[in-house]
């Protein structure tokens, strides 16, 4: 273990909360808005039912079919909006948590829409006095848009199945992503049958306006923030690879040059989705954190070649154009609650921490712990040493095998006796981040003061 500098600052611990901070309240407001939307959708669906229709043969099944269909479709829109890169949502909740919500909620609309198809078929079959298979055939061939909606459901189901953890693990990320893209097509081709055949809309202009508004609003969010904004920013900042430098074994720093990068709404610790427009790479976007605060003309990323893309970046040609999406992420100074921080980085996990440290106000007292199996794994350590020393903080470099150089609660407390008074920012492999977070909690750091960046979405 080496301690590069050790000069502690005594700054009174002050509690603060930035308006951008990811808070339970932000998530609460979003859940409340989604709940209100669901209640309106349900109310508009139920009001279109009549006692006469309910008491007719198959009436209850058909009504249940309509409710499951409407709720399922509404939840699909929620799923789309949650990952629609809406800046306010990204700031209040963070992309990692939004993706987790998307994943958790994902199966429900599929189950509800599947139930909708079955219930409507059974209800109509009872009403028409025929068997379910021939009713299903009639629905497909004579009702406007039902065939397209069934095909759309197939596309959604494919995205659902390939997102199942065990299946997804066996697929390349890009294959999974391409299958997921078809969900937009699935949604688009299922829309027409809702308005054409949905009893909640025929003769109900308010319900119709509400539903069209929801769909147009969701489509607008996706087009504006997943397509329009990234294209505009990529054109505006015109990034090109300037240089690629090997900074450690299997680890490169890529510097990109562009225009007016100081105008990007970037906070230290955030990441971008990078698309290097070179043959064989242009169709893949990968998330990498900026490993320094961008200046007017340069932004930088530091990448470990853990897979195909990382390895390809080591060979990327200077001059290659770069498109990007973002910046994203809430692993920033906005979530800080105190005036002291502990930054803990494992391997290339140090990258966002360096930009975060650069971005923190001068009054913040930093302690940095970098962890690596060998000294070569301490990515960017010279820059940390310089920055920490300039700010009068402390840098601890823990080098050695995990069994010999532990990073448990006792070890961290020995290095950082005032740990409880600090915000703890952790970035590194999942096992490492889990263990440091558990140690921090054990040492008495409140959960709200522990911030993690997962290199996994």
Q: Does 309 bind ligand FAD (CB under 6 A)?
A: yes
Question: Does 85 help bind ligand FAD (rule: CB under 6 A)?
Answer: no
CB 237 within 8 A of CB 258: yes
Taking the C-alpha atoms of residue 447 and residue 438, their distance in angstroms, rounded to an integer, is: 10
Should residue 288 be labelled a site residue for ligand FAD when binding is judged by CB under 6 A?
yes
Compare residues 37 and 250 and give the one whose CB is closer to ligand FAD: 250
Task: Considering only the stretches 61-69, 139-147, 302-310, 440-448, report the one whose residues sit in contact with ligand FAD under the rule CB under 6 A.
Answer: 302-310
Q: Does 91 bind ligand FAD (CB under 6 A)?
A: no
| DSSP β-bridge partners for residue 288 | 272
- Name the H helices within 258-371: 308-313, 350-359
Binders of ligand FAD among 326-355, rule CB under 6 A? 348, 351
Question: Interacting stretch for ligand FAD, rule CB under 6 A, among 147-155, 305-313, 416-424, 431-439?
Answer: 305-313
- Candidates 91, 233, 267, 304; binder of ligand FAD (CB under 6 A) is 304
Nearest approach, Cβ of 182 to ligand FAD (angstroms)?
A: 17
By CB atoms closer than 10 A (0-12, 13-18, 19+), residue 24 is exposed
Binding of residue 303 to ligand FAD (CB under 6 A): yes
| Residue 115 host element (H or E) | helix 107-128
Residue 177: Cβ-neighbour burial (10 angstroms; 0-12, 13-18, 19+): middle
Position 306 contacts ligand FAD (CB under 6 A): yes
Q: Does 307 bind ligand FAD (CB under 6 A)?
A: yes
- In the complex, what is the shortest distance from the CB of residue 358 to ligand FAD, in angstroms, rounded to a whole number? 15
308 makes contact with ligand FAD (CB under 6 A): yes
**CB 179 to ligand FAD: min, Å:** 14
CA separation for the pair 170, 157 (Å, rounded): 18
In this structure, the number of other CB atoms found within 10 A of the CB of residue 29 comes to 12
Q: What secondary structure does DSSP assign to 362-428, as a single string? A: TT-EEEEEEEESSGGGSTTHHHHHHHHHHTT-EEEEEES-TTTS--SHHHHHHH-TTGGGSEEEEES
CB nearer to ligand FAD: give 308 or 418.
Answer: 308
Is the bond leading into 454 cis (omega within 30 degrees of zero)? no
Judged by CB under 6 A, does residue 171 bind ligand FAD? no
383 binds ligand FAD (CB under 6 A): no
Interaction between residue 271 and ligand FAD (CB under 6 A): yes
- Answer yes or no whether residue 187 interacts with ligand FAD by CB under 6 A: no
DSSP-derived pairing of the beta strands 450-453 and 423-427: parallel
**451 touches ligand FAD (CB under 6 A):** no
Binding to ligand FAD, residues 427-446 (CB under 6 A):
none
Sheet containing 365-372, strands listed edge to edge, beginning at the edge strand earlier in sequence: 2-6, 394-399, 365-372, 340-346, 423-427, 450-453
Binding site for ligand FAD (CB under 6 A): 173, 271, 285-289, 301-304, 306-310, 348, 351, 455-457
């Amino acid at each position: 273990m080496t301690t590069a500098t050790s000069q502690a600052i005594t700054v009174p611990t002050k509690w603060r909360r930035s308006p951008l901070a990811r808070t339970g309240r932000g998530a609460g407001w979003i859940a409340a808005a989604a709940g209100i939307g669901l209640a309106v959708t349900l109310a508009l669906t139920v009001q279109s039912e009549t006692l006469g229709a309910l008491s007719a043969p198959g009436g209850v099944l058909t009504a249940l079919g309509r409710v499951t269909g409407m709720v399922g479709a509404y939840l699909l829109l929620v799923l789309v909006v949650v990952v629609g890169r809406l800046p306010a949502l990204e700031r209040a909740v963070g992309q990692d948590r939004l993706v987790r919500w998307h994943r958790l909620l994902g199966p429900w609309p599929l189950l509800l829409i599947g139930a909708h198809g079955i219930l409507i078929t059974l209800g109509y079959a009872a009403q028409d006095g025929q068997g379910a298979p021939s009713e299903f055939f009639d629905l497909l061939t004579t009702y406007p848009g039902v065939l397209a909606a069934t095909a759309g459901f197939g596309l959604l189901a494919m995205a659902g199945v390939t997102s199942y953890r065990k299946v997804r693990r066996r697929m390349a990320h890009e294959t999974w992503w391409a299958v997921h893209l078809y969900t937009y097509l699935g949604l688009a081709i299922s829309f027409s049958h809702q308005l054409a055949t949905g009893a909640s809309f025929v003769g109900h202009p308010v319900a119709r306006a509400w539903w069209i508004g929801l769909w147009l609003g969701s489509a607008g969010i996706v087009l504006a923030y997943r397509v329009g904004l990234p294209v505009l920013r990529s054109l505006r900042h015109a990034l090109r690879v300037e240089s690629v430098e090997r900074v450690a074994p299997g680890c490169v720093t890529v510097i990109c040059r562009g225009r007016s990068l100081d105008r990007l709404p970037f906070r230290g610790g955030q990441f971008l989705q990078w698309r290097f427009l070179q043959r064989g790479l242009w169709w893949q976007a990968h998330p990498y954190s900026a490993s320094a605060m961008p200046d007017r003309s340069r932004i930088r990323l530091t990448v470990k070649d853990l897979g195909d893309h990382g390895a390809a970046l080591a060979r990327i040609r200077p001059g290659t154009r770069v498109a990007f999406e973002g910046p994203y992420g809430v692993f920033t100074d906005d979530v800080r609650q105190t005036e002291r921080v502990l930054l803990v980085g494992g391997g290339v996990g140090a990258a966002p921490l360096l930009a975060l440290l650069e971005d923190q106000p001068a009054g913040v007292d930093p302690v940095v712990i970098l962890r690596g199996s060998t000294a070569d794994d301490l990515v960017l350590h010279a820059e940390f040493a310089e920055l920490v020393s300039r700010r009068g903080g402390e840098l601890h470099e823990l080098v050695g095998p995990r069994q010999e150089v532990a990073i448990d609660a006792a070890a961290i407390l020995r290095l950082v006796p005032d740990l409880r008074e600090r915000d703890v920012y952790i970035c590194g492999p999942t096992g490492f981040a889990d263990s440091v977070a558990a140690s921090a909690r054990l040492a008495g750091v409140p959960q709200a003061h522990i911030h993690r960046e997962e290199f996994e979405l």
